[in-house]
Amino acid sequence: MSKKSITLEYIEKKYKVQTYVELYQRVLFLIENGEIIPKKASGKNGKKPSLYNEYWLMEKQVDNSEYIEELSYMYVPEISIDYYLKNIKQYKEDRKYILLLNKYLKEKSGELLVSKSMNERSFDIWYREKFLKEEQGKKILKRCGINIEKLNLYETMEPLSYYTHTRNIPQNMLILENKDTFYSMRKRLLEGNNLIFGVEIGTLIYGGGKKIHRSFNDFLVCVEPYMREESNTILYFGDLDYEGIIIYEKLAEAFSGNCIISPFKQAYLRMVEKAEVIGMDNLPDTKEGQNRNIGTLFIESFLKENSDKIKRILENNKYIPQEILSLEDF
């Protein structure tokens, strides 16, 4: 039996008593049942009938020998029991999930030789598809001393969306940051016009902003064979702002070992031309909180005269959305 000090206010809040009479009766009941002992040194509260201000809460020692024995002898060697031997209370909370993990490793460990998606493996083990990604699966693995890589899983990405106008090789493939521009350019291609700003485009790829970094991971293995040809040219076109430039630069750098991704310069220059007609003051202001740490890869793709114009727009805290261009421009 162990004890800890509690106040009269603690008892009042814990049992949600509404009146002093209820509180008095509750305290007497707890004393009679040996659950609390008055701390006489704390003094009384001065009310009638009076109560002591503080009490010893008597906590019964729990017999955990059953769980200690279970931990010591039931689990496969892959599951470390060190954490749970020191944290039996947590073990009781996690126990049903650890038992399922143990059952899987004992009876179906051979299935780990075949790679599966995170949600598929999660359901195989715990019968809950989101247990690893959104619930306590990763914490339990850590407590069990199991590296998640041991489960031989992969995380599925957003599928890459694209429109194929032609499968000719070689061809120009264009990645577009925003959905509106993707639909407008696709409409032009569907109307039989394969030239956009004088450049023949064979395939349009919808990037979806920062999502392109994840979905493009599957590019080399999931797209049609014609798209993987090294002789193709890959272009990128997005908003002319810090964020849009960073999206391009990170994408180009991440896949530099597999393919070269270049800015669709003709489209960017047309954006600048239209912006000059509109006037600097009428351009939208740069959105707050944008990361401004762009590199040199994008800017240096243009001739100095044009790169100076782009830098001037950015330095004036302005930006040009991709939507400045529409079907008639293409």
Class of domain 2-59: mainly alpha
State pLDDT tens for residues 35-68: 889 999 989 998 999 999 999 888 776 777 888 8
Burial classification of residue 289, based on how many CB atoms lie within 10 Å of its CB (0-12 exposed, 13-18 middle, 19 or more buried): exposed
What is the number of H-type helices and E-type strands within the chain?
13, 12
Query: Measured between alpha carbons, how far is 156 from 46 in angstroms, rounded to an integer?
Result: 66
Region class of 169: left (phi > 0), else alpha (psi between -120 and 50), else beta: beta
pLDDT band with cut points at 50, 70 and 90 for residue 237:
very high
Q: What pLDDT shows up at residue 117? A: 84
Q: What pLDDT shows up at residue 1? A: 53
DSSP code string of 244-300: HHHHHHHHHHHTTTT--EEE-HHHHHHHHHHHHHH-GGGSPBPPTT------STTGG
- Bridge-based pairing of strands 195-196 and 261-263 is unpaired
pLDDT band with cut points at 50, 70 and 90 for residue 173:
very high
Helix axes 65-73, 88-107, angle to 10 degrees: 30
- Bridge-based pairing of strands 161-164 and 172-176 is unpaired
Average pLDDT, the chain: 88
* pTM score: 0.59
Q: What pLDDT shows up at residue 278? A: 86
Sheet with 161-164: strands ordered across: 161-164, 203-206, 172-176, 233-237, 261-263
DSSP code string of 169-196: SS-EEEEESSHHHHHHHHHHHHTT--EE
Sequence-ordered list of residues with C-beta below 8 angstroms from that of 272, at least 6 positions apart, any chain: 240, 306, 309, 310, 313, 320
Residue from 167, 171, 243 nearest 212 by CA: 243
Instruction: Average the pLDDT over 5-28 and give the result.
Output: 90
pLDDT band with cut points at 50, 70 and 90 for residue 264:
very high
Instruction: Average the pLDDT over 234-245 and give the result.
Output: 91
Instruction: Average the pLDDT over 137-146 and give the result.
Output: 93
State pLDDT tens for residues 176-229: 988 899 999 999 999 988 899 999 999 998 887 777 766 666 676 677 888 888
pLDDT band with cut points at 50, 70 and 90 for residue 290:
confident
Instruction: Average the pLDDT over 144-170 and give the result.
Output: 85
Instruction: Average the pLDDT over 222-242 and give the result.
Output: 88
| pLDDT at residue 138 tops 90 | yes
Q: What pLDDT shows up at residue 145? A: 94
pLDDT band with cut points at 50, 70 and 90 for residue 102:
very high
pLDDT band with cut points at 50, 70 and 90 for residue 157:
low
Which position has the higher pLDDT, 254 or 249? 249
Instruction: Average the pLDDT over 229-257 and give the result.
Output: 89
Query: Measured between alpha carbons, how far is 64 from 62 in angstroms, rounded to an integer?
Result: 6
Residue from 250, 238, 233, 241 nearest 297 by CA: 250
Q: What pLDDT shows up at residue 330? A: 83
CB distance 271 to 320 below 8 Å: yes
Query: Measured between alpha carbons, how far is 269 from 200 in angstroms, rounded to an integer?
Result: 17
State pLDDT tens for residues 314-326: 999 988 888 888 8
Which position has the higher pLDDT, 312 or 212? 312
For the chain, what percent of residues have pLDDT higher than 70?
Answer: 95
Q: What is the DSSP letter of 129?
A: T
